[in-house]
Amino acid sequence: MEYLKWSSEGSVAVITLERPPANALSNGLLRELSAVLDEVEPNRELRVVVIHGEGRFFSAGADIKEFTTVGSSDDFSKLGSFGQDLFDRMEKFPKPIIAAIHGAALGGGLELAMACHIRLVSETAKLGLPELQLGLIPGFAGTQRLPRYVGVARAAEMMFTSEPITGLEAVQFGLANHAYPEAEVLEQALKLANKIAKKSPVAIKAAIELVNYAKTKEFYEGTKREAELFGQVFGSNDAKEGIQAFIEKRVPNFKGE
């Protein structure tokens, strides 16, 4: 593994995102995450998964520089569909997945966290979907999952302004389960994981399946449309300007075209 590592602590699989400095979600990292899930799923000894980030962040988002290597709008739509499929698999994974979030979970990082069953955050963590700042939109089902947790109005504000919320606000708004001082987040996640691991795997698997019935037909229609628009928006001049401005560390000049 080049971008992450994983180990087992008793009945808990601990996956660590390890792509400094920001644990950006590159295509390679996502594929490695999928490969780890392939290993963990059939292992009867492992009953719960914890995901956290090495260094300063959980994950500060997608790899924007990698976006410059993506070819057509259709390729970008396929990238969105791949991320959506992986995160949908996580949400349906037969073993609970807990995100231990510190520093920042932004863009794709928040979309990854929202695909987990439970989210624990540091009190000062920053959570948000800032893609519109770059002339882009979320592409890994963020436009569909965020409203489910915080409501349509607040999700709209978070996306339209690109401004993140704190860990404490995330708990208040229903996006996260609990907030802790940063040094305690992983410890608390492992404590919770071990508590859950004592439950019947048969019952846990059934509960996960039933919880997912709350995802409506409209949710899947929304994610499909999101992937399409993800590609269309990427093909705009505004997106090219936003990405270039990010790389050049300047304010973008969007013209609506």
pLDDT digits (tens, 9 = 90+) for 7-18: 999 999 999 999
Say if CB 5 and CB 16 are below 8 A apart: yes
Query: Considering the entire predicted model, what is its pTM?
Result: 0.92
Distance CA 50, CA 95 (A): 10
**Which residues have a catalytic role annotated?**
111, 131
Q: Are 27 and 3 in contact (CB under 8 A)?
A: no
CA neighbor of 114 nearest in space, from 155, 77, 76, 161: 155
- Which superfamily is assigned to 4-197 in CATH? 2-enoyl-CoA Hydratase; Chain A, domain 1 (3.90.226.10)
| Model pLDDT, residue 71 | 67
Q: Can you give the pLDDT at residue 217? A: 83
- The pair of structure tokens assigned to 50 is 């914890």
Averaged pLDDT, 77-91: 92
Residue type, 104: A
What average pLDDT does the chain have? Answer: 93
